[in-house]
Chains A and B, each alone.
Chain A
């Protein structure tokens, strides 16, 4: 099953399971979704539960928050996450804060999902890693599912969660295939990292496209006798620090790979908590391989240079292993 189909199935199952779940966003119904994730759902559930909106991210995200306050469980689609910044106020100041500000009276069970991260030649405004805008915020959970199986299991958990969950998919992964359990009760809990490949010399933290690149690198380095453990955090907040530190204690070396610009990125946070909780286990400084600190360019060669290449990841791994 493709990643896209896995998401579609998760939505379908959760809508069948819980009448409070509804979808809201641009072009999700009649048009079947800009990326076809919601394909066929209007047909099955009707326009009461698959709500096409005009272009007003702040407005319809606010509507979802208000509906969630009254007990519905909205799943908001951002056509792409680049547009979620128009709703940033509703996400940060309303969704993330209401439970706390009301002293636990009003929780906001909602999911905001859609594609984010680097795409193909879409340039600066349509090709960015948006998770950084959200995982800083207490009150939000943030998920980045790398595989079709995770897409399904994590989306179902996100929909069942009683808090606002930011769920950022990837345009470049929608077509990938993988095993996906068809049991409607299959879920993956939020906050659990996954070891994608076991190894003993170095831990590589990576998710989404970078996770696949890290796996390719690991394969090649194995031929040189370097054994990489690739760990995918899957949920960026809350982060599974236990599993991640466990891996560091085993390998004593860390490389973080992330597609977004490195400044104050996910790698910074991982480097900080690894240093705080496992400093004595480290045999080398934590290395970050990140996207260039520049907007995404259009030109193919520049675009390629913007995100971490296999060569750069490999070089970083060799450096920490030789330190």
Chain B
């Protein structure tokens, strides 16, 4: 494998930025941990895919966007939606299937949308949202805007035809979209080398004549730098980029795969957990004096409180009324 880009350990981080990045990663981590608890209690049903271990990608990437930029994702999207600024209370209410959920309880964990934050959703057909991202970028260009679209997807989408159709169209039409592949090395139980003839995903960019890059997805600053560069180029030249962020999911594919033990070893998981993106970033900030222990503890407490509030809010929100069943099918 080619070396993924990392950040020189010496570079000093701005304190305000460090606080923001750490807060968001902790918010996502805590949100996901509580969601898992709520799933065990039966408050959340269906499929629940946790983002634990991958927080640095969504947080680092989103930190390079303007509020009027767009983001779109697959079904493991809680982190992307939180990073884009959605209200954790309404997100949790959506997971609970309640009326105050972002999608009025009709979407669930896999279909979070927040139009007020330009978050284009939560799509659960692997590969299908990649053309949608190109379409959003097409609309931006059509309207003469300078926003960009950030599209997250898994390594499992790469063998899918729509990945290749979207890459080709984005490059052919020079659309302002940055494709960020979250390569966590597995699509459910299928390891990447069992799925792809070319496992270095960033190399597909070359084929389509677009810029491509690989980055250590456990390093929030590295993600920020690589995605930031792509976003700036995208805004300036309306040229797409494909970025492969190398990351790892610490939990099973979904809550129905609790042990995740058939297709990967315990040792591998433990080894990867050593590279916990939050632990790494916290250690770094403490080491170079960007943040103090006390500040970190305060942030942790604040994020825990936000998530507690989200759970309380979701639990108090009523079920959607039955009339809603047949509403929002057609726009009048």
A interface residue numbers (CB < 8 A to B): 22, 48, 53-54, 56, 58-72, 89-90, 93-94, 98-107, 109, 138-139, 141, 162-163
Contacts and interface: CB of A to CB of B under 8 A. Distances in A.
A70 to B, nearest CB: 4
A83 to B, nearest CB: 14
Contacts of B123: 94
A93 B120 CA distance: 15
A59 B132 contact: no
Given A58-B131, A63-B134, 20 more contacts: A58-B165, A59-B131, A60-B169, A62-B162, A64-B135, A65-B131, A65-B135, A67-B135, A68-B135, A69-B135, A70-B143, A100-B328, A101-B121, A102-B103, A103-B105, A104-B327, A105-B113, A106-B113, A107-B331, A139-B329
Given A56-B169, A93-B125, A100-B328, A62 B134 contact: yes
Interface string B316-332: 00000000000111111
Max chain A CB contacts within 10 Å: which of B134, B165, B168, B329?
A: B165
Contacts of A70: 70, 135-136, 139-140, 143
Nearest to B107: A101
Contacts of A105: 102-103, 113-115
B131 A90 contact: yes
A59 B101 contact: no
Nearest to A104: B328
B311 interface: no
Secondary structure call for the B interface: mixed
Nearest to A57: B165
A103 B132 contact: no
24 contacts: A54-B172, A58-B165, A59-B168, A60-B165, A61-B131, A62-B130, A62-B134, A62-B135, A64-B135, A66-B138, A68-B135, A70-B136, A70-B139, A101-B103, A102-B113, A102-B121, A103-B101, A103-B105, A103-B328, A105-B103, A105-B113, A105-B114, A106-B113, A106-B115
A163 B330 contact: yes
B165 A56 contact: yes
Contact of B138 (A67, A89, A109, A162): A67
B104 A103 contact: yes
Contacts of B125: 89, 93-94
B139 A62 contact: no
Contacts of B138: 63, 66-67, 72
Interface of B: 70, 72, 101-107, 111, 113-115, 120-123, 125, 128-140, 142-143, 161-162, 165-166, 168-169, 172, 327-332
Contacts of B111: 101-102
A99 to B, nearest CB: 6
A165 B292 CA distance: 58
Given A101-B106, A103-B113, A138-B329, A66 B165 contact: no
Given A102-B115, A163-B330, A62 B168 contact: no
Contacts of B161: 58
Nearest to B320: A103
Contacts of A62: 128-132, 134-135, 162, 165-166
A57 to B, nearest CB: 9
B330 A139 contact: yes
A259 B316 CA distance: 54
Contact of B121 (A22, A98, A139): A98
A66 B114 CA distance: 15
Contacts of A163: 330-331
A162 B142 CA distance: 19
Max chain B CB contacts within 10 Å: which of A69, A89, A90, A107?
A: A69
B131 A106 contact: no
Given A48-B142, A62-B162, A100-B329, A90 B113 contact: no
Nearest to B145: A70
B103 A56 contact: no
Given A94-B128, A105-B113, A59 B105 contact: no
Nearest to A72: B139
A278 B107 CA distance: 37
Nearest to B70: A70
Contacts of B332: 162
Contacts of A103: 101-107, 113, 328
Contacts of B166: 59, 62
B121 A104 contact: no
A198 B251 CA distance: 67
A65 B102 CA distance: 21
A9 B104 CA distance: 41
A90 B121 contact: no
Nearest to A59: B165
B135 A63 contact: yes
A112 to B, nearest CB: 14
A90 B128 contact: yes
Contacts of B140: 70
B104 A106 contact: no
Contacts of B162: 58-59, 62
Max chain B CB contacts within 10 Å: which of A66, A68, A162?
A: A66
A22 B173 CA distance: 15
A104 B72 CA distance: 17
What are the 4 A-B residue pairs with the smallest beta carbon separation, nearest first? A66-B135, A62-B131, A59-B165, A103-B104
A304 to B, nearest CB: 37
B64 to A, nearest CB: 20
B132 A102 contact: no
Contacts of A58: 131, 161-162, 165
Contacts of A22: 142
A99 B103 CA distance: 9
